[in-house]
Amino acid sequence: MEDKTNHSTKLEQLYARIYNQLQDLLGKSPHLLCKMATICALLHHKLNHFFWTGFYILINGQLCIGPYQGSLACQVLEKAKGVCWAGIKAKKTIIVPDVHQFPGHIACDSRSNSEIVIPLFDFQRNIWGVLDVDSRQFNAFSEIDQLWLEKIVQLLTPTPEELKFLSVSS
Ligand code: SME
C-alpha cells in the first residue's frame, strides 16, 4: 500500500515537472506541429511505462497518424473501430487496462497490452484528434495519467486558423 502511494506521489511529481517544462517549451513553439512533436518526445522519453506515444488527427473524416514516438504505427485507423475511434465518439478519455479484452482494438504493435486515449479539442470545443499512449504493461494507466495528460493536451487547444494547415475536419 505504502509502495503504491509512493509510486503515485513520484509519478505526480514527474508529471508536474514535465508540465512545467512543456509550458516553457510550447510557449516558444512557432507552430502547432512543433508543439505536438515536442509533447510526444518529452512524454515518451520521461515516462517509463510509455511504449508508444503519439497523435492521431481527424483529416477529412479519417484518423491519420500525426507526430509520434515508438515503433512503426498504422497510418490510418479503420473507421469506427478500436480505442482511438471510441475516444473520438465518446469525446472522453478512455483507459483500457487490457487491450486484448477491448472489442475491435487495433494492434499496431502486438507488444502493447494497455492503452490510454485522450481527446483533443479546439477553441470551440470541437474534437480534432486524440493523444494515444500504449504500454507493454497491463493496467499501466491510472487517473494520474488521465489528469495530467488532459492538462497537457490543453496546452495545444488550437484556433481554427492553426488547424487549417492540417485540413482538419472536426
Ligand atoms: N490501438 C489503437 C490504434 C493505434 S496504436 O495503438 C498506435 C486503437 O485501437 O485505436
Domains in the chain and their CATH numbers? 2-164 (3.30.450.40)
User: Is the Cβ atom of 40 under 6 angstroms away from ligand 1?
Assistant: no
Window from 49-58, 147-156, 160-169 with minimum mean pLDDT: 160-169
Sign of CA dihedral 104, 108, 109, 112: negative
Distance in Å, CA 150 to ligand 1 centroid: 18
Pocket test for ligand 1, best of 89, 132, 141 (most atoms within 8 A of CB): 132
User: Is the Cβ atom of 132 under 6 angstroms away from ligand 1?
Assistant: yes
Q: What is the pLDDT of residues 31-56, one digit of tens each?
A: 999 999 999 999 999 999 999 999 99
Q: What is the pLDDT of residues 64-76, one digit of tens each?
A: 999 999 999 999 9
**What per-residue confidence (pLDDT) applies to 1?**
59
Q: Indicate whether 166 pLDDT > 80.
A: no
**What per-residue confidence (pLDDT) applies to 4?**
83
Distance in Å, CA 142 to ligand 1 centroid: 18
CA distance 170 to 157: 13
Non-local CB neighbours of 161 within 8 Å, separated by 6+ positions: none
User: Is the Cβ atom of 108 under 6 angstroms away from ligand 1?
Assistant: yes
* Residue 104, SS3 per DSSP: coil
Q: What is the pLDDT of residues 19-32, one digit of tens each?
A: 999 999 999 999 99
Q: What is the pLDDT of residues 79-127, one digit of tens each?
A: 989 999 999 999 999 999 999 999 999 999 999 999 999 999 999 999 9
The band of 161, judged by pLDDT with boundaries at 50, 70 and 90, is confident
Question: Quick one: which H or E segment has residue 119?
Answer: strand 114-121
User: Is the Cβ atom of 134 under 6 angstroms away from ligand 1?
Assistant: yes
